[in-house]
Amino acid sequence: PGRPAAPPAAGSLVNSKIRRLAVGLLVCYIALFAQLNLLQVGQREELAEDPRNDRQTTRDFNRPRGPIVTADGVVVADSVASAPGDSFKYQRRYPTGDLFAGITGYYTFNFGSTQLERTQGQVLLGTTAAQRVQAITGLLGGSDNSGSVLLTMRNDVQQVAKDALKDPTTGEMREGSVVVMEPSTGAILAMYSFPTFDPNLVAVHDSETARNVLDFLNNYPGKPLLANAYQERYMPGSSFKVITTGIALENGVTDLQRVFPVETEYIPPQTTDPIANYGGKACGGTMIEVFYRSCNIPFARMALELGPERMVAGTTAWGIGEQLPIDLPEAAASSFGDVEDFTEALPLLAIGGFGQGSDVMVPLHMAMVAATVANGGRMMAPYVVDATRFHDGSVLERTRPSVWRTPISSQTATQLNSLMVGVVNQGTGTAMQLANGIQAAGKTGTAQLNATGEPQRSHAWIIGFAPAESPRYAVSVVLKGTNDEISAGTGGRLAGPIAKQVFDYLFASEAQP
């Protein structure tokens, strides 16, 4: 006892240090393993899209990238061998120029990709899980694993839509959009907007040249880099009366026998400023008559009778306020307003009832409105990709049509159908009367953008479908009020002939052997 403890043996000290070192190395290994998994799995997409990371992009530009093809077999995007001396093996090419720019977008080294080039990038490169599995099994028999994208859109109809936007007198392009879709499926056959751009000018491998083109386009009036048909929204004017009427019919506020007073002015609550019909004309009569004559006051009255709650709920049922569910990126949302926006501003609600005030609608959405009436009250989700395919042409994935909204009953849809037939036969839409006796249904709109006393500025609209008795196609057309001629015109006079040109072509092409 009292004797000092013996010092630990040298071997014991060594073993203790080894254990601490082993534990430390194990902790480091676990941390390294976790970080690698975080980088390779958790942050894979974020790192791949980081503009400072060009390794993956360089690899992609030296690999085959598959084509985007229309329903009628026209290649609208593909890759070809680069010119000798180029820093990359492949050059992305857009054979139809600006015709499908709003659908394909562009694919660049320094400035990323847009539209389908962005959303379908993995399919085109062949890097989806299914494509990798097929490559492993050796079914392809080669190193090219790229896929392709098959569109619902037709090159011929897209070209007709573009040509229809030209001024019939001067041949110059007018700013606006044309959308054509199948009411029963939501498949889009054409969707063209002007101004637009040629993606070949952006897809060049010279970064300075590409930057200059993008800078020019970003500063060009009319937003040509946006696909205005589904990424922009405009005041709809009287084309919105289809929606107001649908809401009023669903809520029992009106029926086809209702009679409205003939009047030139109407003063809504909370104001002394009267509402007038277009051009200050006296207008009234049955529901059928005020619809085909496009009187403003009856629709203002209906919006007020519905009140903020029911009117807003009705617009929500039509999908207004929600981003459109198309298989393209960054779709816009139409807008009407919230209940609180109108509770103390009933005149704004009244004006909104006939498509003015704070109402703004996406051209694609207005085509969907027409298609909903044509489809018995069911609003289908729109889509442009029919199918994606493996390199050997077999189907990777096919789009299945789906109902997005059911804002009106089949009975209301039938009533709106008959009202829209009246617009074409004896109302403001007679310019959309089709060849060969085919009955069309439509609704015009002239959205007045200027305040009282200012020079007139307006958008010209028409929406519709045909044949009315068994609809196969729905369309929306808007011409932007960028000049005096368009602003002085009406939807029926200016947009109507565009819709007719598209419809007549569609039915004529059906008749060809």
- For 62, 101, 113, 369, the CA distances from 80, given in Å and listed in that order, are 11, 18, 18, 41
pLDDT tens over the chain, length 513 residues: 555 555 656 666 667 777 788 787 888 878 777 777 666 656 655 655 555 556 666 777 778 899 999 999 999 999 999 999 888 999 999 999 999 999 999 999 989 999 999 999 999 999 999 998 888 766 545 578 899 999 999 999 999 999 999 999 999 999 999 999 999 999 999 999 999 999 999 999 999 999 999 999 999 999 999 999 999 999 999 999 999 999 999 999 999 999 999 999 999 999 999 999 988 899 999 999 999 999 999 999 999 999 999 999 999 999 999 999 999 999 999 999 999 999 999 999 999 999 999 999 999 999 999 999 999 999 999 999 999 999 999 999 999 999 999 999 999 999 999 999 999 999 999 999 999 999 999 999 998 887 666 777 789 999 999 999 999 999 999 999 877 777 777 889 999 999 999 999 999 999 876
**Cα dihedral sign for 202, 203, 209, 215?**
positive
Active-site annotation, residues = 238
Which residues touch 447 (CB under 8 Å, ≥6 apart)?
234, 235, 236, 237, 355, 356, 458, 459, 461, 481
The pair of structure tokens assigned to 117 is: 């080039």
Task: Give the pairing of strands 90-93 and 379-380.
Answer: unpaired
What three-state secondary structure class fits 160? helix
What's the pTM? 0.88
Give the span between the Cα atoms of 482 and 36, in whole angstroms.
55
